[in-house]
Amino acid sequence: MVRKELPLAITFITGGIVILANFLAPAWFVQTNKDITVWYQIVTALFCGLGVVNLCRIHGKKVSQKREGWPFSVVMLVSMFGFMLIALYVGQQHQLYKNLYNNTIVPLNATMYSILVFYIASAAYRAFRVRSAEATILLVTAAIVMLGKAPIGEAVLGSWVASWTTWIFDVPNTAGMRGIQLGATLGGIAMALRVLIGIERAHFGGTGGE
């Protein structure tokens, strides 16, 4: 009983306070909502440790069983704990931390995302191979936008590419994205209601009990 009803009650009360604070705004609810927002930040910040625990479990197992590629798991674990120890020891304002951040996280992030440049053309061809009217529309729009955003597009094809790109973003893109957003928001509202009322319980799965 407690295993099922207590979490549902906590969900309902927490969500109820947030909703009442925003719609009715009585003083007590507003203050409680502010406090709960801080609580939420603390709770989600503590959740991050789950990622570390899972990485340690998965990669620790790989290292202990000496499975293929285990040295890379060692590198990963050393980098993770190394970064954490240095950051926690020296603090965020120390020059060592700033150098470490600016010369590891920043270039690694930017470079990792940019390697998509090498694959995106072939990936796009495989994914959107012109097999239907929809795929053709998507590909043609993408081509116009890419040419319109690059200086070479306007230089070779003329100014129409840039003005078409602007029009695509202002009109059909706004319409399509708004439709998608409204659809997703309505879906989100329905799901939020289901969670709040307790109809949706799938997220409690895998933790034993009822």
Window 64-103: residues binding other proteins (CB under 8 A): 69, 72-73, 75-84, 87-88, 91-92, 99, 101-103
Say if CB 108 and CB 102 are below 8 A apart: no
Window 21-40: residues binding other proteins (CB under 8 A): 21-23, 35-40
CB of 158 to other proteins, least distance (A): 18
Q: How far, CA to CA in Å, does 191 sit from each of 20, 73, 188, 200?
A: 19, 38, 5, 8
**Is residue 42 near other proteins by the rule CB under 8 A?**
yes
38 φ, ψ (degrees, to nearest 5): -65, -40
Residue with Cβ nearer other proteins (4 or 159) = 4
CB of 57 to other proteins, least distance (A): 9
Distance CA(62)–CA(73), nearest Å, equals 7
**Is residue 122 near other proteins by the rule CB under 8 A?**
no
Comparing CA positions, the residue from 190, 196, 187 lying closest to residue 15 is: 196
Window 138-197: residues binding other proteins (CB under 8 A): 138-146, 149-150, 167-183, 185-189, 192-193, 195-196
Alpha helices for 24-171 (secondary structure H): 27-64, 70-90, 95-100, 106-114, 116-128, 133-149, 151-157, 160-170
**Is residue 46 near other proteins by the rule CB under 8 A?**
yes
Quick one: which of 65, 111, 151, 152 contacts other proteins (CB under 8 A)?
Answer: 111
**In this chain, which stretch among 60-68, 104-112, 154-162 interacts with other proteins, using CB under 8 A?**
104-112
